[in-house]
Structures are given as structure tokens and as C-alpha cells.
Amino acid sequence: MTLAIAPAQRQALADWLTHLRALDGAAANTVTAYGADVGRYLDFLARHREDPMGTKGLTALPQADLRAWMAQERARGLGARSLARALSAVKGFTAWLADRDGSDASAVLSARGPKYRRKLPRPLSEQGAREMIDRVGSLPQNDWIAARDVAVVTLLYGCGLRISEALGLTGAAHPLPEVLRIAGKGGKTRLVPVLPVARAAVARYAALAPFDLLPGAPLFRGARGGALNPRLIARAMEVARMQLGLPATATPHALRHSFATHLLSAGGDLRAIQELLGHSSLSTTQAYTAVDAARLMEVYEKAHPRA
């Protein structure tokens, strides 16, 4: 579908996305999603309003037009969470325009998004995480592939890495140091301590791997020597969780959630966990306090004699 966006607005959108990439360091997926959200918004305005607008008209837009756009998005099936993200993108674009043009965009920027209930992370139990790692290592018939899969899932759980971060490591990371420098979302760099068990798992994989793990090449390899496809780790966990009777939420990302939740349960500082996970906002990390409280109440209700 061709979007009905005026040339000046289209150029402004392109300039804003370039700004996000270059100056704000936004992740590529975020830039793509924001571009699609704002593009649909501009297309709606072009069709909704009879008078053509330049970029300054976007900053002076009344909230009635914004509400009409949100109503259309909901009508086409957009969920509250996705609409909230789209509104955030529109506000970011509008604020950038207002700053560039020296205009007042308070009406747009004060618009409220839909309320939605934040989904809580679904971590594995400590026993479940250990069983998952053990079971993943028992699935492949080839010893080096089994060692590879164990090394990856151990990094996810032991260091709280995203799957993309673990698979983004190169041969230069071997042998693993006591502290890893990880480039996370948006190019943000963080330092992550590496447990001895994770260093040992990667060392065992490296010793068995039939490929030269050169500094500039991927550390984790597929069967033919190319970069390991994350789908293979997800598939191994799918098989393992079915064998263990774990829920469908036992995914690679759930191991990262488990890392954070178990640290918090052991008395970890929330700010420190935020740094280890690479969250830009503490509010994202605070979701784990709700998880911890929910687990505590579950144990309480099962154990209390009057429950």
C-alpha cells in the first residue's frame, strides 16, 4: 500500500529516522518500527483532513485528530501496547519537529495513550533453569554441538545475555574473561561479570569445535561452520521443555528473565541488575520486583497453614 504522505513530511520523517540512528543510537528494529508507525500516522492525517499540512501543521495538530488516528488504529486491530508504542513514536517525531521549527507542540505531546497491563516476565525456577541447561546438552548426538548449546544457554542464564548478544560474540572473546564487554540494544555497552561455570562451558565447546574460532569470526558456529542461527537454540529449548514438562514460556529470553529474577530473590540491588541487563530505564527492571512478589505470594499461599 502506497502511503499518502506529502513530500515535505516524508523528508522530515526520513531526517528524523536518520537522527535516531546517528545521534540517539536507536536499534535498527526500533527505527524501522517507529518509521512504520509515524508513516501510517501521516498517511491517516492526509486522508482524514481536507486541508494539506506542512510540517509546522503537524506540531499544531488538535488532539481530536490524534484521537481519531488512535481510534482507527484500534479498529484495525492494533493492541493497546502496540498503540502506546506508536503514540510514543508520533510524540518523538512531533517533539523533534517542534524543536527544529521552534513551534509549540504541547497539544500533541500531552495526549495520553491507552492504558495496558504490562506483561510480567515469565522466568523459570532455579531448578527449572538447571534442568533446562542439562537437558539441552543431552539432546544432540554430536558432542561439540551439545557443548555448544550448553555454552549458549549457560551464557543466557549465567550472564543475563540476550540471544543476539550471546551469538554476537566472536572468537576474540575466547577464552572468556572474568568480565565481558557487551554491545547491547542501541549500541549501548555494558560490563557483565562471567561466572566460572560459563567460562568452563565455553572453553569445553571451543575445545571440541571442529572450526578455527578466529578473532573476527563468530564464536558460536552452525554444523557447517557458519554463524549459529538463533532458531537452533530456540528449537533445542522447545524440545527440552516438552521433555521436562515446562511451559511454552521457557524460551531463550526466559533464561535472561530467570537471571534477573533469581538475582533479585537473592538480595541483588535493582540498580545493579539494571546495569547488568543493559536496561536504559529502571522502570523496565522494576518489572522483576512484581515477579518476585508474585512468586513470594504463591509460596506463602501454598505454605501458610490458614491458606
* Average pLDDT value for residue range 117-142: 81
Q: Which CATH superfamily is domain 126-302 in?
A: Intergrase catalytic core (1.10.443.10)
Burial class of 195 by CB neighbour count within 10 A (0 to 12, 13 to 18, 19+) = middle
Q: What is the pLDDT of residue 271?
A: 64
The active-site residue out of 19, 74, 253, 295 is 253
* Average pLDDT value for residue range 250-276: 72
Concerning whether 253 is annotated as a catalytic residue, the answer is yes
Shared fold status for 7-109 and 126-302: no
Per-position b or e across 7-16, b if 16+ CB within 10 A of its CB: eebeebbeeb
Omega prior to 252 cis, within 30 of 0: no
Concerning whether 91 is annotated as a catalytic residue, the answer is no
pLDDT tens per residue, range 78-114: 788 788 888 888 999 999 988 888 888 888 888 887 7
User: What's the CATH number for 7-109?
Assistant: 1.10.150
Whole-angstrom distance, CA of residue 208 vs CA of residue 160: 25
Concerning whether 48 is annotated as a catalytic residue, the answer is no
pLDDT tens per residue, range 166-206: 999 999 999 998 888 887 666 677 888 888 999 999 999 99
Please say if the pLDDT value at position 289 is more than 90. no
The active-site residue out of 40, 135, 256, 257 is 256
Chain-wide mean pLDDT for the chain? 81
Whole-angstrom distance, CA of residue 61 vs CA of residue 81: 23
Q: Can you say whether the dihedral through the CA atoms of 159, 265, 251, 78 is positive or negative? A: negative
Burial class of 182 by CB neighbour count within 10 A (0 to 12, 13 to 18, 19+) = buried
Cell digits of residue 168 = 554476537
Whole-angstrom distance, CA of residue 3 vs CA of residue 13: 13
Higher pLDDT, 196 or 53: 196
Q: Where are the domains of the chain?
A: 7-109, 126-302
Burial class of 299 by CB neighbour count within 10 A (0 to 12, 13 to 18, 19+) = exposed
Q: What is the pLDDT of residue 268?
A: 60
Q: What is the pLDDT of residue 192?
A: 82
Concerning whether 221 is annotated as a catalytic residue, the answer is no
SS3 281: coil
Q: What is the pLDDT of residue 116?
A: 57
Place 217 in a pLDDT band, splitting at 50, 70 and 90. very high
pTM of whole model > 0.85? no
The active-site residue out of 21, 56, 185, 190 is 185
Concerning whether 162 is annotated as a catalytic residue, the answer is yes
In contact, 242 and 236? CB cutoff 8 Å: no
End-to-end CA distance of the chain: 57
Whole-angstrom distance, CA of residue 226 vs CA of residue 218: 8
* Average pLDDT value for residue range 272-276: 62
In contact, 9 and 38? CB cutoff 8 Å: no
In contact, 87 and 113? CB cutoff 8 Å: yes
Name residue 218's beta-bridge partners.
170
Higher pLDDT, 268 or 254: 254
The active-site residue out of 148, 162, 221, 241 is 162
The active-site residue out of 34, 157, 205, 288 is 288
Concerning whether 34 is annotated as a catalytic residue, the answer is no
Cell digits of residue 124 = 523459570
Higher pLDDT, 140 or 157: 157
Residue type, 53: M
Q: What is the pLDDT of residue 273?
A: 62
